[in-house]
Structure 1
Amino acid sequence: MRSFSFLFAAIAIPSLVSSLPTEFSTTNLPEPKFEGKTPWDEPQNVTDTPTYEERSAELHARQGGPTCSPILDTELVGDGAPLKWTYWAQISLPTYCNGGQCSAGVDSSKSMEFSFSADVHVNRWISGGFGVSKSYSTGVTNQCYSLPDKGHKKACIWSFKGHQTYTVKNIHYYSDVRCGPKIVGQPFRLTSPVGDNKVQGFLCGFDHDCHDQLGYTEWRANWYPN
């Protein structure tokens, strides 16, 4: 991205704050450089959790055995091999400036919510002890302005939030061991927003940085601005 002016809820990274400000200030920070990568680009041999044969449970029931109700769960693999990412989202449609002064903004009706993500089905979301949340909301921001002397044609607002990726696995077992052994799925990466359920910060985007698609997103390795 080439034309950004930054509006921050906080830039104390990696310590993320929990509240939105009443005003925004421009800061002299580097522009984010996107390389088209995501947390799932690394090749992984990932499969979902295998399932039990239903006939096994039916056999136990016919023979007067235990009632076999499956329990689906997710657990951390080792230390999780955590990696840091930042998730960027365009949260306003572009305002067309035509080379003059204009402003872009989002109101409460355009507040957006983003959740954890993975490349396979997750039996149960877990934090893994990494200080992450299940989801977060962008909330409401002030307007973003483009001044006449800048010559911008479009303006829009982006949000960003630090994320943590960590390795987990799905498990499938019964509360009564007579129903069958514990089945463990292959490891996969789970990505969750860091801190609480508030957005981390905002920025103004201009011209080619403003897409016609509301909710256009990008990933960037590491926590911004590192």
Structure 2
Amino acid sequence: MILLDGKKVAQDMRTEIREEVDLLKTRFGRPPGLAVILVGQDPASQVYVRNKERACAEAGILSMPFHLPETTSQNELEGLIQRLNRDVTVDGILLQLPLPAGLDSQHCLELIDPGKDVDGFHPVNVGKLTLGLPGFRSCTPAGVMELLRRYNLSPACKKAVVVGRSNIVGKPLALMLGQTGICANATVTLCHSGTADLCAECREADFLFVAVGRP
């Protein structure tokens, strides 16, 4: 059995990224800027945002946190996104989900400039993923693919089963696994709540990826 050490890979990547950031700072006179929008006080979201800010600091990226109250209106949130789209010092925008009740998360995601949509949630970037074109990729599936590459585990010509069809993990991961390229070219089965015999599908898998949020 091979233990895939995600923490070590993440640390190695942050070190590598910091070297790239230093080159960018020399070339452009500033570090890349990442704006992170958090609306409300959701405990899990606060942890995620703190982790992102810590990762930015380690990689040399300028973190720009925007913590908004739960009473923030749709117009106020949209206005902030539009300002960040226009800000040339902001290279990436992350909108932390879920948003409080009453806010339209999908509309806000579609409002983000696709060129700054580092989460890969904008329909333009989802379309590029589907077509196999360069673009931002959803972070968790991209991390899974990076683990496969770093450990030289190729699902090519093998059956990969993905359990869960969320837009954030399951669907994009299935697309990535099925594309041409290094550590891809898998025959992919996407399972979900409508799968007739989930146990049978999992038993037949050479690679099994579970993204359902619970055991």
TM-score, length-scaled by structure 1:
0.21
User: By percentage of residues, which structure has more strand?
Assistant: 1
Relative to total residues, which structure has the larger helix share, 1 or 2?
A: 2
